[in-house]
Amino acid sequence: MENLNESPMDRLRPLFKKVEIFNGLVALIGLLLWVLQLPMASMLMVIGLMTFSSTNTVGIFFRDPDAKTSIARSTPKMIGIGCGLVSTGMLFKLQFYPAQDELFYVGLSLLLIALCLLGFNKTLIINYLSIKMFVVLLLGTFIWQVNSKTLFAHHFANDPEFVKLYENMIDNPTDKNAKEIFEKRKIEKMGQVSK
């Protein structure tokens, strides 16, 4: 017999969990390929991290029928939003987009608050949510702490002149000439890629 308290979103929960695990694996494979500088790394990383972020954010609409307290109801939502923000922050950092630090600050803060709240609810500790949270927390903290210059030098190892322009722009943030030279070279480089 069908549960009358179950919403249509609740029926999709098992599917979303499988999709989320698959997207997380695609993101991890993309990150590994990116580190090894292999083909299709950026595409897999973008697809994996963005879909992982999206499924985490959509996951906040699921209700836990066993949750009796407000902490038990709010902790999975905080983990979902935090994981979504941290995975988006990882993507922004690895693709050199702006606003990466803000995404990391908010996302990691939510995950740390959720970690504290997990201490009050022993039933949630050994759970899929906590495993996902620990993986995203550790991976996100590691990527957040890696210097952007190091990531850029790794990503563009075959173009040392481009790396020097980037480092000059980062070292001299008030120098408009350094930024213009880098942006001009970046546009030239992107034009070469699209041809």
Helix (H) or strand (E) holding 83, with range, is helix 70-95
**Of 169, 174, 172, which is closest to residue 152 (Cα–Cα)?**
169
Handedness of CA 101, 104, 107, 110 (dihedral sign): negative
pLDDT in tens, 135-150: 888 888 899 898 888 8
* Integer Cα distance of 111 and 139 in angstroms: 12
* Integer Cα distance of 182 and 140 in angstroms: 28
Whether the predicted pLDDT of 105 surpasses 90: yes
pLDDT in tens, 118-133: 776 666 555 666 778 8
pLDDT in tens, 162-188: 999 999 988 988 989 988 998 899 888
Instruction: Determine what percent of the chain is predicted with pLDDT higher than 70.
Output: 83
Across 14-21, average pLDDT: 82
pLDDT in tens, 21-75: 888 888 889 888 888 888 888 888 888 888 888 887 776 776 666 667 777 677 7
The whole-number pLDDT of residue 64 equals 65
Decide if 103 contacts 129 (C-beta within 8 A): no
